[in-house]
Amino acid sequence: MQDPWDVTSCPAVNRDRHLYVSDWESDCIWRVSADDGRADRLIDDVGRAPRLSATVAGELVAASDRGVTVYSGDDGSQLRHVPLSDDARHAVMLSAPHPAAAATCFVVCCYTQHKVCTVA
């Protein structure tokens, strides 16, 4: 790990007691054991310094210059990607679909537009 940027945990998959850390320099997300501190590279090529959040279902939500991407907290596989025209500063996934959206949506802080919005 070269330059830790953000950290989160997934309550649903935290039975194995891991933290998830984004790394600015390594362009990846690490899974770090809360027991012994061992760090394993879980996801590569995640964009510049993603900011992380987690869902109760055990998914990692990464907001970056590429948009919002949802990964499995178990194996790091990409589950969904929402491209954005703005650099996403942070995002959280709503637990239920937004009334105006047909699918699950995200609340996103957009960097250059200086606003908070919902995207599906």
Counting other chains too, the contacts that 92-97 makes at CB distance below 8 Å and 24 or more residues apart are 92/53, 92/61, 93/53, 93/55, 93/59, 93/61, 94/118, 95/55, 95/56
Residue 95: the pLDDT is 63
Residue 82: the pLDDT is 82
d(CA 47, CA 7): 16
- Which carries the bigger pLDDT value, residue 19 or residue 17? 19
CA angle 45, 52, 28 (to 5 degrees): 20
Average pLDDT, the chain: 79
Q: What is the CATH number of domain 4-119?
A: 2.130.10.10
In which band, very low, low, confident or very high, does the pLDDT at 12 lie, cut at 50, 70 and 90?
Answer: low
d(CA 43, CA 32): 12
